[in-house]
Amino acid sequence: MQINKQINIKGMMCGGCETIIEDAVSEIEGGSDVHADYPSAKCKLSFDDKKVRLEDIYKIIEQKGYAIDLNSETEGGVFIKISLSILALIGIVLLMVFSRKLWHQFSVPDISSQLSYGMIFVVGLITGLHCIGMCGSFVIGSTVKDAEHGRSAYLSHILYGTGKTLSYAMFGAIFGFIGSVVSITPFISGVSILLAGIFLIIFGLNTLNVFAVLKKGTI
């Protein structure tokens, strides 16, 4: 008997996830039609229950790294997400304001060639923690994926570090050249930082699945 079913899927991050899920389910014997939709986090599928069970389809999707949401999100859940996002945004703004005040109250040494080796070491530790927090998940994701395909984790780290260093050097050279040709005023610098901040906020909200409308575009 042919059954039509719509399921909620957690973990879809882009249009490529739609393709992964559709290809995986289509290869199952008895699965005739499947359509995954990233913006709504839903998947419509049609299958023959005499050839395949719905639980088997769930397992195939979960093996690809996604989760089946058996409880559809209520309006209350959406309200909680929005409220937490607003509170987090307010907290970030307050943290920036207080940090600015503390910066002026305490005597913070300027980073220059006159710094002692001890202070340089401390600054290196701080920037290292920042790098771990920002890039750690990328490194883990890259090495895990390579390990699943039988590739060496050490080689993955080396390739990631080499690629990161070369790409940073390339972009640094490009922007350095632009800066030598075009005069970058404080206004242009401020606008660039503001736009980058807005993009990161939208990207974060999109990742948290707070507003479904954000998924309509490619971020």
| Confidence (pLDDT) at 166 | 93
Is residue 218 over pLDDT 90? no
Amino acid (1-letter code) at residue 170: M
Question: Can you tell me which residue has the tokens 């957690």?
Answer: 10
Most confident of 66-70, 125-129, 167-171, 194-198: 167-171
Are 107 and 57 part of one and the same domain?
no
Give pLDDT tens digits for 129-140.
877 777 777 787
Is residue 165 over pLDDT 80? yes
Q: Global pTM?
A: 0.44
Mean pLDDT of 33-51: 83
Mean pLDDT, rounded, of the chain: 78
Are 137 and 195 part of one and the same domain?
no
Is residue 92 over pLDDT 60? yes
Are 113 and 196 part of one and the same domain?
no
Are 17 and 93 part of one and the same domain?
no
Are 15 and 36 part of one and the same domain?
yes
| Confidence (pLDDT) at 170 | 94
Instruction: Supply the range of the domain harboring residue 204.
Output: 183-219
Higher pLDDT, 216 or 9: 9
Are 45 and 88 part of one and the same domain?
no
Rounded-to-integer distance, Cα 9 and Cα 20, Å: 13
Of 141, 156, 176, which marks where a domain is finished? 176
Distance between first and last Cα of the chain:
40
Are 152 and 131 part of one and the same domain?
yes
Total domains in the fold of the chain:
3
* DSSP per-residue letters across the chain: -EEEEEEEEE---SHHHHHHHHHHHHTSTTEEEEEEETTTTEEEEEEETTT--HHHHHHHHHHTT-EEE-SPPPHHHHHHHHHHHHHHHHHHHHHHHHHHHHHHHS-PPP-STT--HHHHHHHHHHHHHHHHHHHHHHHHHHHHHHHHTT--HHHHHHHHHHHHHHHHHHHHHHHHHHHHHS---HHHHHHHHHHHHHHHHHHHHHHTT--GGGGGS--
Backbone dihedral angles phi then psi of residue 37, each to the nearest 5 degrees: -125, 110
Are 196 and 169 part of one and the same domain?
no
| Confidence (pLDDT) at 169 | 92
Give pLDDT tens digits for 105-130.
665 566 666 778 888 888 888 888 87
Are 56 and 98 part of one and the same domain?
no
Is residue 76 over pLDDT 60? no
Are 158 and 205 part of one and the same domain?
no
| Confidence (pLDDT) at 12 | 81
